[in-house]
Amino acid sequence: KAGVTQTPRYLIKTRGQQVTLSCSPISGHRSVSWYQQTPGQGLQFLFEYFSETQRNKGNFPGRFSGRQFSNSRSEMNVSTLELGDSALYLCASSGGATYSYEQYFGPGTRLTVT
Amino acid sequence: AQTVTQSQPEMSVQEAETVTLSCTYDTSENNYYLFWYKQPPSRQMILVIRQEAYKQQNATENRFSVNFQKAAKSFSLKISDSQLGDTAMYFCAFMKSGNSGGSNYKLTFGKGTLLTVNP
């Protein structure tokens, strides 16, 4: 089975721009979660989607949004980028038959805001 | 809210030796899951081992085992016969279980322990 894929892998944007990141979950997984990883704050939960509905949201400003499509693929969008948004953005999928709660991560998208 | 604490920012071990990474957590929940994830220099987060809080038996996956002490809210990871490929950042993580909404399917991570395996 193919793992979680994320595109693009690297991205450089300018302050004030917006960005869209994509995540394709493991086949059959219906839950997709997003995390932000920075050296200062560590790993922080952004949001989680299941069947095209956002079920959980972390403590991030409204500039961070996401959505999930009917094929379970998910996108997250960050508008009006700030320097502090530079981070590794990780996507994880879950919903396996045995341990449905286990999250499997993609390789991440490295976003640099200049 | 749940918190996860990893008190050892860095550790090192000789190849073939055994090392134990510490993790404590704070929660008022009774039903939850605990995980150890490994993040090597490639940055790919890899699930190492899971533990369901309702199970008293400690989880084991090949060279990896945990010491789960629910009353003490402690969840340590033991790596036996350490290999050079075990060099990575290790994260302890907590997830509330159940269908009550809120933090379900949300992982709360510790700050991580950087483990270096020396030849």
Residue B103 has pLDDT above 50, yes or no: no
CA separation for the pair B116, A74 (Å, rounded): 35
Give the best residue of B107, B109, B111 to mutate against chain A (max A CB count within 10 A): B107
Tell me whether B79 touches chain A (CB under 8 Å).
no
What's the confidence (pLDDT) of residue B109?
A: 97
Average the pLDDT over each of A25-29, A47-51, B102-106 and give the range with the smallest value: B102-106
Is the dihedral angle over the CA atoms B117, B68, B22, B35 positive or is it negative?
positive
Radius of gyration from C-alpha coordinates of chain A: 13
Strands in A74-78's sheet, in edge-to-edge order, are: A5-7, A19-24, A74-78, A64-68
Residue in B closest to A110 by C-alpha: B43
Chain B residues with CB inside 8 Å of A110's CB? 43
Average the pLDDT over each of A64-73, A90-99, B4-13, B23-32 and give the range with the smallest value: A90-99
Residue B102 has pLDDT above 50, yes or no: no
> Which SS3 state, helix, strand or coil, does residue A50 take?
strand
What's the confidence (pLDDT) of residue A83?
A: 97
Q: Are B48 and B64 spatial neighbours (Cβ–Cβ below 8 Å)?
A: yes
What's the confidence (pLDDT) of residue B99?
A: 56
What's the confidence (pLDDT) of residue B101?
A: 46
Average confidence score pLDDT of chain A: 94
Tell me whether A31 touches chain B (CB under 8 Å).
yes
Q: Are A6 and A37 spatial neighbours (Cβ–Cβ below 8 Å)?
A: no
CA separation for the pair A51, A48 (Å, rounded): 10
Residue in A closest to B97 by C-alpha: A101
pLDDT, tens digit (0-9, with 9 covering 90-100), for B11-61: 999 999 999 999 999 999 888 999 999 999 888 899 999 999 988 899 999
CA separation for the pair A83, A68 (Å, rounded): 26
Residue among B33, B101, B112 whose CB faces A101 most closely: B33
Helices H, strands E: what count in chain B? Answer: 0, 12
